[in-house]
Amino acid sequence: MDIELDHIIPVPLKDKILARQSDIWNRRVTWKQGSYIKIKAPSGTGKTTFIHILYKLRTDFEGNVKFDGALLEKTDGDALATLRQQQLSVILQDLRLFPNLTARENIELKRVLQIPFYESDKIDAMAAALGVQHVLNQQAGLCSYGEQQRIAIIRALIQPFQWLIMDEPFSHLDNHNATKAAALIEEECKKRNAGLLITDLEDDQHFAYSHQFNL
């Protein structure tokens, strides 16, 4: 699945964005599936807004987002759900786990929402790789931010996808854990021949990026 951005500008940020240069806003950009995209975005440039537009969490923007030529704004209901179940996986900055479910249930929910891509023992394997196996049966709301972030990463990786969209996915992790998480993410993307898109405040070397942009 290719991603095509056609002069998108979020309405609330319109004046601010038009006053400066951006590689993404108000431009035509196309990314092939399998690309590794890094978007560097200092605070206040609309980083999270951009992720939310791509994942269709907000629609207050001008311009068009197309997945394989299909307009995102026309995709809704069950079709949008299929997109999120099969093609587009996300790690949001605010993680969005169900605090009352256990960590395992949070991941399991995403696993069985569609025809499972992995068996359930893969949850344990991934949790072991990221060092959160011990919190799997704990309520997600009681886990630390670092643990929650790793649970959210596993949740995003348990489903099938063609693109993985991440909004500061390592913000609560130390370098050691971030490296482990990045390795797992890269492995899973390769397995699916999927692309990844990551936004962050600073430059980083977590992945071998094919394109880097400034928002």
Partner 1 sequence: MLDKILQKLIRTATGRTRFIMAVTGLSVALLLILMAVQLQTNYNELLNSKSNQDSIANFLVVNKQLNDQNLGATALTESEVAELRKQPFTESVGLLSPSRFKASIQSNSEMFPFYTDIAFESVPDEFIDVTSKDWKWDEQQNMVPVIVPNMFLDFYNFQFSFSQNLPQLTQQVVKMIVFRINIYTSTGIQTFNGRVVGFSDRISSLLVPQGFMDWANRKFSGENQAKPSRVIIRTNDPGNPELVSYLRSKGLTTDADKTRFSRYRQVVDMVVSISWITGVIMLVFAMLIFTLFIQLTISSCRREIELLITLGASPGQLYKFLMRRFFPINIVIIGITLVLISILQYLLHHYLISRNIHIGKYISWQTAVAGMLLLGLIWVVNRVTIKKYISVS
Report how far residue 65's alpha carbon sits from residue 9's, in angstroms, rounded to the nearest whole number: 11
Which member of 15, 21, 44, 78 binds partner 1 (CB under 8 A)? Answer: 78
The DSSP 8-state label assigned to residue 50 in this structure reads H
Stretch that binds partner 1, among 6-14, 20-28, 98-106, 169-177 (CB under 8 A): 98-106
Stretch that binds partner 1, among 13-21, 92-100, 124-132, 203-211 (CB under 8 A): 92-100
DSSP string, 98-142: -TTSBHHHHHHHHHHSSS-SS-THHHHHHHHHHT-GGGTTSBGGG
E strand or H helix that includes residue 211: strand 211-214
> What angle, rounded to 10 degrees, do the helices at 145-157 and 175-192 form?
10
- Site track for partner 1 across 156-185, x = CB under 8 A: ---x--------------------------
- 71: CB partners within 8 A, 6+ apart: 64, 65
Instruction: Tell me: does residue 112 bind partner 1 (CB under 8 A).
Output: yes
Which member of 26, 48, 64, 114 binds partner 1 (CB under 8 A)? Answer: 114
The DSSP 8-state label assigned to residue 147 in this structure reads H
Which member of 29, 101, 129, 183 binds partner 1 (CB under 8 A)? Answer: 101
**Between 69 and 77, whose beta carbon lies closer to partner 1?**
77
> What's the closest the beta carbon of residue 97 comes to partner 1, in angstroms?
9
Which member of 30, 100, 144, 212 binds partner 1 (CB under 8 A)? Answer: 100
Report how far residue 17's alpha carbon sits from residue 184's, in angstroms, rounded to the nearest whole number: 35
Instruction: Tell me: does residue 142 bind partner 1 (CB under 8 A).
Output: no
Please report where in the chains the tokens 């797992």 appear, as a residue. Answer: 184
Chain contacts with partner 1 (rule: CB under 8 A): 55, 57, 77-78, 81-85, 96, 98, 100-101, 105, 108-110, 112-114, 159
